[in-house]
Amino acid sequence: MTRHKPKIIVIVGPTAVGKSAIAVDIARLVGGEVISADSRQVYRGLNIGTGKITRREMRGIPHHGIDIAAPRTVGTAQQFTAEMFRIRARETIADISARGNVPIICGGTGFYIDALVDGISFPDVPPNLALRKKLSPKNAQQLYALLQKKDPRRAAAIDRHNPRRLIRALEIATALGTVPRTRKHAIYDPLFIGLTVSGDILRKKINTRLRARLAHGMIAEARRLHAAGLSYRKMEMLGLEYRWLARFLQGKISRAEMVRELEYAIWQYAKRQINWFHRNNRIRWFPPTLQTITKKINFDQWRRLLHKPGRRSASQ
């Protein structure tokens, strides 16, 4: 019997474009379950600020990879990593496939998705807690400058705005002298679906969603997280909404300044996501409506191909 790579659906795109809703629509159509590929939705309690999907929005579709880590582990040896995501997601895909359902990866963390789909393996370098403590007060610009000096090749390819990723790269470079080139071993046959809208529309969606989150209690959520033991330093490390919430709650900026800075920061993040995903020529791009996607993708035919005789599941 010929071994086939397990088929999965991967839904990508920038923040606020509507990935979660489309993932649920497609899951209901094909008999799927959703695996979140979001580097912050793994943390418990980060609900409003990360736009975590609600039970009502799931509409009965099982979701995996959400609320599996404590936010206080950020910056520690227990911090959730791309390698942890890859291992857990592979196990979840195997379980979903073994039950005859379709694994649907959905998220905007391109590094996580690449790690899973392309089977990237990472250097086996344990956390250096002393180094992390030394580096954590530095901002992304300072961390990036350090990485440029220590490992210019890795600096040229990394997300220079992500402190957690920069610290990990510096940790590896300190241990090994340089960050080794990643090795790839693809084990899946992915159907990539990218969601896109014009820049003007996306920016409006980002700003509208931010105001909705503020109205729904995002500031109160940050206060609860801090009261429960999440330091402002670690809140800053979580990035985007929580970085600016931490500064607001400490009285460093006004509410109006927080909103203005967040609108800009989220928009810049969305542009980085777009640039990341546009490097992947396997992605087929669609407006974020099920009707436009199903006009181009025959999911009934795709399901028949998935279950044709001779195809082995991810668990085999």
Reduced 3-state DSSP string for 141-189 = HHHHHHHHHHCHHHHHHCCCCCHHHHHHHHHHHHHHCCCCCCECCCCCE
What distance in Å separates the CA atoms of residue 225 and residue 242, rounded to the nearest whole number? 10
Q: Residue with structure tokens 């969601």?
A: 195
Phi first, then psi, for residue 206 (nearest 5°) are -60, -50
Apex CA 117: angle with CA 188 and CA 242, to 5°?
A: 150
In CATH terms, is domain 124-181 a member of 1.10.3470? Answer: no
CATH number of the domain at 7-122+182-306, out of 3.30.70.890, 1.10.10.10, 3.40.50.300, 3.40.640.10?
3.40.50.300
pLDDT tens-place values along the chain, 316 residues long: 335 788 999 999 999 999 999 999 999 999 999 999 999 999 999 999 999 999 999 999 999 999 999 999 988 878 898 889 999 999 999 999 999 999 999 999 998 999 999 887 666 677 787 888 888 888 888 998 999 888 888 888 787 877 877 888 888 888 877 765 666 677 899 999 999 999 999 999 999 999 999 999 999 999 999 999 999 999 998 989 999 999 999 999 999 999 999 999 999 999 999 999 999 999 999 999 999 999 999 998 777 767 665 444 433 3
Domain ranges (residues) in the chain: 7-122+182-306, 124-181
What distance in Å separates the CA atoms of residue 75 and residue 286, rounded to the nearest whole number? 37
pTM listed for this prediction: 0.84
What is the DSSP secondary-structure string of 213-243? HHHTTHHHHHHHHHHTT--HHHHHHT-HHHH
